[in-house]
Structures are given as C-alpha cells and as structure tokens.
Amino acid sequence: MNDVEEMLRRTLGSASQQAPRMPTHLPAQLEASYRRRRRRNLAQVVLAAAAVVVVAAGTTAVLRHGDTTATTLSPSTSRPDAPVWPLPEPVARVWPEAVHKVPARGPGGTKLMPQTFIDDRTVLVTTWGGFEKTDALYAYDLVTHDLREITDVPTPAGTVLFASDFTVGEGRVVWWTATKDARIHVWTAPLSGGDATTVADLEAGTTPGLDGLAVEGDRILFSPTGGGVFTVPAAGGAVQAVPGGEGMHLLKWPWVGSPGAAPEGDGTRFITISNVETGETSVAVRHNGEHTLACGVRLCAGVREGRKSFYRLRDGSQEKELPMTDLSPDGLARERFLVAMVTAEGAGHIPILYDVSTGTAADLGVRARGGRLSIPGVARDGRLVSYQVGDDLYVVDLAKIG
C-alpha cells in the first residue's frame, strides 16, 4: 500500500470515530451508512433534481431513483404561526426564459430523471431502473427535443450504493458507486457516447461515499465523506492527494473547506475555506445562536434562534433577513436562489423558487395530492431545478434568470 492509498484509507475511515458503533459485519456497515446518507439528505431537505420529499401525516420519505427511506420529522411543514404569503405568479410567467417542459418518459416508457446541464441547451438525464438504480444516461436537447443515448450505467455485482452524483465537464460525465466489498468506484464516460469505465477503485472504510466530485481539465477531483481532496487522471491512473486538501471537502474547485456535508452536526457547512491554487483562505463569521449555516465561496445563509433565516457575506456584512422560516443547509444555489416552503393564500403549503437578490418569488405549481407533497430540489450543479406537475416534467435553468 503506497502513501496515497494509506491516506485514503485513513480519510475514509476517520468519520467512523465520531459515529455510533455499528456491527462489524461489513455489508451491515455499508447499509447503515446508506441509510444515514439518506437521512442526511432528508434532514437537509436538499435533494438531487430527481428527488422528492413526500410529506404525509407527519412522516417524510425520501424518494430518489425509487429509493424510499421513511423518517419522522418535526411538523415544520404545518407550523401554525408561519406567515401567509400572497400566491406568487407561476414560474413560467415570472422567468419564462428559464423554464422548459421535457418528456417524463424515455425509451420503453422508463422514467426520465434530469440530473445536470451539459451545456446551455442540453440536459443530462438518467433512466430509472428502480430502487436507486440508473440504467442509462441520455442527453436531451431543449431546443430540438432530441434524446440521445450516452452510455449504459453498469451496476456491478455486490453494489450497495448505486450510481450517484452525476457530474459533467471537459466532454465527459463522472459518477461513483460503492460495493459490499468495501470499495468505492469512480466512473466516467464520454458525453459523445461510449462505454463507461472505472478510473479509480478505492478502499471505502466504514463510511463509504463521496461528498464532492468535479472534472477539471484532464483530471477528476473528489472528496470522500471522511474528508480529504484527491485527484485522478480522467483516463485512469494513480490517485493523488491534493496539497492543502487534507481533512477538507471539495466546495467549488479550486476552493475546498470544512466542515463538509457530514450526516452528524447541525448542517453547518464550509465555515473555513481555502483556495488550493492561490493559498487564499476565508473563515466565515458565525454568531452565537446561529445554526444550519451553509456557506459558499462568497455568501452564507443560515437560521438563528426563533427560526429566523438570513443570508450575508462571509465577513458578516450586508446581512438580510429572509421572509421564510428554516433553510436548506446546502445554502443558496448560485449564491442567490432557494426552493422554500411557504403557506400561500388559497393554496396552502407550497414550494416556491425565491431569488434573494431581488426578493422575487415564483410558484412552481406543485400541490399536495392525497395528503402527499413533492418538494423539488436544486441539482448538484446548483443550476437545475426539476419537478413534475401531473404528467408534465419541468426543468428550470437558474443560469437563465437575469
């Protein structure tokens, strides 16, 4: 085992020191981590574009590619003292240039799940194979409405965590999986079409998974859930530790920081960040009584006592209160947008898209059906919002909002 492999082994196993003791049988450990990761996503109320939260009778379940994990949450969705909003205008009327209707079904009638933008007119979509499993990747052209297959998504025997965190860049798509033999596999395929191949195969430890993934030039960058930032050539090769990335998590290259998206804690993220190329560092201001403080490169958003939400610059200046209670711990998409739950006149509890820079709100059109409410989320690219209304599937491009 070389130095980098040893560092990866320590990194991927370090989070277990803070976690409750689990059975020593490895598949059981992997499954426990799998459930904990789903609970973390639920608590953050930040889901991939394909994900929804279903709220019924005080119980919430995460559905992502068919996976359902039931968890009981506090009844924040029906808070009696929540302010009542005037019903916002529909999102297609507020930002018509940003809204697209896409097919909800692909080849053979399979569900299409928008994942991320490939470019300004093309969306990466997956076909759903059931219970978290992705069958294939496609490129959907928002202008011509063509659907082009990119690659099949392999599911090796013994897979415990299915294909996750689809990320595009430099003409390729990358993702990761984990298997019960305690290995994490990093995959890639050309966006032009071709077979998927593995470029890294790592020892997973007891808390398998990645919480950051990016493509930069001819290399793939990633951070394990336990911390540390690593790189591997996009064509495959030796994994190397990124200098200055030890104990850190990938935020937005070349920025890394801590804490990352750990399942424990109050959701506070990226208080400390550094630029591994320039050496610049930043420590965000945090006051007593604040929690769920999620920071980006420039802004932080959080919640203080009394469930008052706010955002401000990392140095603590230019703070503004937000007109809704509670926030996602992932903070503001593009350091500007959030999907928030509000109570609206004549519509009840609904999700809206809110622009903090202008105070503009837009109704996404999602309503409770049969006591169940599907809450859209912002994709990992921070740009794509996807949701279904009836039989129609919509994609909102946050980059197209002026």
pLDDT at position 79 is 57
Q: What's the sign of the alpha-carbon dihedral 5, 231, 50, 339?
A: positive
The model's confidence at residue 267, banded by pLDDT at 50, 70 and 90, is confident
Q: What is the pTM for the complete model shown?
A: 0.81
Residue 274 pLDDT exceeds 60:
yes
How many C-beta atoms surround the C-beta of residue 376 within 10 A? 24
pLDDT at position 37 is 40
Q: Average pLDDT of 342-361?
A: 94
Q: Average pLDDT of 49-63?
A: 36
CATH code for the structural domain at 3-400? 2.130.10
DSSP label of 111 = B
Tokens describing residue 260: 């990352």
Residue 128 pLDDT exceeds 60:
yes
**What distance lies between CA 345 and its chain's CA centroid?**
30
pLDDT at position 1 is 54
The model's confidence at residue 93, banded by pLDDT at 50, 70 and 90, is very high
* Secondary structure (3-state) at 9: helix
pLDDT at position 206 is 63
**Alpha-carbon separation of residue 206 from 16, 157, 242 (angstroms):** 6, 19, 22
Residue 58 pLDDT exceeds 70:
no
Q: What is the dihedral of CA 274, 276, 209, 399, to 10 degrees?
A: 80
Residue closest to 49 by CA, chosen among 390, 376, 389: 376
Q: 171: Cβ–Cβ under 8 A, 6 or more apart, which residues? A: 190, 191, 192
pLDDT at position 81 is 66
Q: How would you class 226 by CB atoms within 10 Å of its CB: exposed for 0-12, middle for 13-18, buried for 19 or more? A: buried
**Alpha-carbon separation of residue 179 from 182, 221, 262, 393 (angstroms):** 6, 20, 20, 32
pLDDT at position 25 is 31
Backbone angles phi, psi at 29, to 5 degrees: -65, -45
Q: 130: Cβ–Cβ under 8 A, 6 or more apart, which residues? A: 65, 66
Q: Average pLDDT of 186-198?
A: 97
Q: Average pLDDT of 164-176?
A: 97
Give the integer Cα–Cα distance in Å for 28 and 309.
38
Give the integer Cα–Cα distance in Å for 51 and 241.
32
Q: Average pLDDT of 22-34?
A: 33
**Residue 387 bridge partners (DSSP):** 394
Q: What's the sign of the alpha-carbon dihedral 72, 73, 79, 80?
A: positive
Q: Average pLDDT of 250-273?
A: 87
DSSP label of 92 = H
pLDDT at position 394 is 95
Is the separation of the CB atoms in 220 and 234 below 8 Å?
yes
pLDDT at position 80 is 60
Residue closest to 338 by CA, chosen among 314, 317, 309: 309
Would you list the DSSP string of 320-376?
EEEEEE---TT--BTTTEEEEEEEETTTEEEEEEEETTTTEEEE-----BTTB-BPP
% pLDDT > 90, the chain:
62
For residue range 310-342, what is the model confidence (pLDDT) as tens digits?
Answer: 999 999 999 999 998 867 767 899 999 999 999
Tokens describing residue 29: 């450990």
Instruction: Give whichever of 52-61, 207-216, 225-234 has the largest mean pLDDT.
Output: 225-234
- Say if strands 67-72 and 84-85 run parallel, antiparallel, or are unpaired: unpaired
Amino acid at 306: G
pLDDT at position 205 is 66
The model's confidence at residue 182, banded by pLDDT at 50, 70 and 90, is confident
Largest CA distance in the chain: 63
Give the integer Cα–Cα distance in Å for 324 and 310.
9
How many C-beta atoms surround the C-beta of residue 389 within 10 A? 14
Of 72-81, 135-144, 224-233, 354-363, give the lowest mean pLDDT range.
72-81
pLDDT at position 35 is 35
**What distance lies between CA 324 and its chain's CA centroid?**
21
**Alpha-carbon separation of residue 200 from 166, 260, 379 (angstroms):** 15, 22, 24
